[in-house]
Structure 1
Amino acid sequence: MNPLDLVAADELFSDEELAIRDTVRRFCADRIRPNLATWFEQGDLPARELAVELGAIGVLGMHLQGYGCAGTNAVAYGLACHELEAADSGVRSLVSVQGSLAMYAIYAYGSEEQKNEWLPQMAAGTKIGCFGLTEPDFGSNPAGMRTTAKRDGSDWVLNGSKMWITNGSIADVAIVWARTDEGIRGFLVPTSSRGFTANTVHGKLSLRASITSELVFEDLRLPADALLPRSKGLSSPLACLNEARFGIVFGALGAGRDCLEAAISYASTREVFDKPLSGYQLTQAKLAEMALELGKGMLLAERIGRLKDNGTLKPEHVSMGKLNNVRAALQIAREARTILGANGITLEYPVMRHANNLESVLTYEGTSEVHLLVIGQALTGVSAFR
């Protein structure tokens, strides 16, 4: 039995949503999964090549309307993220940063000229974007950012740095958030600009099949039309983060599902004391507990997706989903590893790779502590962030 059959998950979704899910699942089976062990071991992936292929199946910015985007609903996008992360969190991050951060920022806050110039190319995967908000000393507190953009005549001059930026070293355009005399604003920065440097981060033990970079801006001069005109204050990048967190609500469960499926398959064929490992009560208890958490997480994800499609989604809903589902997926990965024993730490099986990746997913796009406080504020009406 498919673990999600225990909650009759397929009945939650329309035929169109399931068709999109299946398209992404086939793409991952044919193109992604056969290469993951190599990419993870090498600490790299052919992101530019993959972006074009992902654009061809319509997943880049797929939940945006117009400008060459597929215009699907949020639930279909969530299911695509679920399948991408069932392959690898790094691949889902490539899609999420492109569509829900860089493209969404242009879509929500850009001018028509900016949208028409960049979004069709980004939807096709021929141009890659990154999203520069986090700084070396300001992750959970982006309001403390030190990157500045100062007016010089009609131009802007950008100085500062950003850290832990997915796609940074391969991007054609960076959406950079900076402090100005008018507050925090967003800027569309071509990475070919003089004064722009992207340094790839090496030595990662997590998200190895992903490109992570530091961005540095040294007296980088931008024309007036580089400003995202509708960006106003910190609420603008935070809204983009909520878009990306939504994908994680579904995506993290994909990693958990893949671990559970690997554990079920392994337990069915591994013999211990002359019978299959799956025939022991302790093994079945572990599998049942994992399936329970996976099923509950999917029910929560589907509910959050419907709220988003209905236009009633609130930040605390997304925090609930991200907090619960990443936590559940990570616990499933750790428990599945115990069933696989020593084999669970090798790249022959996906479990340790997913567990390592989920350690990053646990803290990016808002740590568990931050999401607990978002939920706490919703419950009490009192902010406890300071």
Structure 2
Amino acid sequence: MRTQVAIIGAGPSGLLLSQLLYRAGIDCVVLEHRSPDYVLSRIRAGVLEQGLTGMLEEAGVADRMHREGLPHDGFTIAVGETRLRIDLKDLTGGKTVMVYGQTEVTKDLMDAHASRDAKIIYQADDVIPHDFDGNSPKVTYLKDGQRHEILCDFICGCDGYHGISRKSVPEGALTEYEKVYPFGWLGILSYAKPVDHELIYANHDTGFALASMRSHTLSRYYIQVPTGTDVNAWSDEMIWDELKIRLGAEAAERMETGPSIEKSIAPLRSYVAEPLRFGRLMLAGDAGHIVPPTGAKGLNLAASDIHYLSGALIEHYAEKSDAGIDHYSQRALARIWKAERFSWWMTTLLHQFPELGAFNARIQQADMDYLASSRAAQVSLAENYVGLPY
């Protein structure tokens, strides 16, 4: 098989790249190790920056998001007894975020691909990129017991942190930066009315909590738990009780509870691989970086990679220029590190770090006092939350 761009990974970043390239007249093939049902079963982020919503519009897959998504003008952040609403719209000159689940974004992209009979090969085993250091890269894979080969101009690794793309980079060519946090997020999804019309981020003496949502009737909550916690050790009732404590009396009084329809624990880490380009192999999304979910940057940061990468590939084919490809890694990493900083800062502000004790608690409170008294500090928080420009 011959194509222009081979994309490894059919998550939202790989599918978004494929859709944007298709609309620019560029041929591509997407390879995915898992089944479509498995890809859709992954519960992930739900806060979209304006940059991402604009890219979904550009890709022609934003109609359902605009019908069913929930625009948010702000959110509440709390440390101890200090509660502060961050008015995103006022602080950023009209910018907002959209609450719309990553699963829904993926489904919309899958539907768009199905409607045009796009070339997506699911359950492709032993996917391996080859010869990307020259001018004739290729990708091989197994399907139904037979080995197949895709000849291409470029390979785009959108296959996540555990994928083959980054692992295929020659030894010594990659520099990795990582911080592993001593806790994770225990998340619960339930058909219960959200406790508030906006998100609430809270830091209690017993740990972090987040009240979020996927719709007017579907709530998503998180609590901080130590690394190594067994999700089965937490009953639904225990989680609801802990949420009421951490989110405070006002939220507890309004909170509706119900049985969980999904319950899981996500570890927290900050990770960046440099560079993101190796000849004709480019990494994007979680294949190149991970952020803690505190700042709602994971999916959004993948989208900014796709913004730079799709633009570079379109420029290559339309204008016969490799300027965008040559600068892809530098441009993407400049924004990645700013998002890493913001996510790290939000994480340190809102979580209990056992090894830091009373000192950290006072620093967190001082940070909140400064936020509450400084519009400049609130503007900085707001402009990072809605997303820095591409």
Which category describes the TM-score, using the shorter chain as reference length?
under 0.3
- TM-score with structure 2 length normalisation? 0.28
The structure that is strand-richer by fraction is 2
- TM-score with structure 1 length normalisation? 0.28
The structure that is helix-richer by fraction is 1
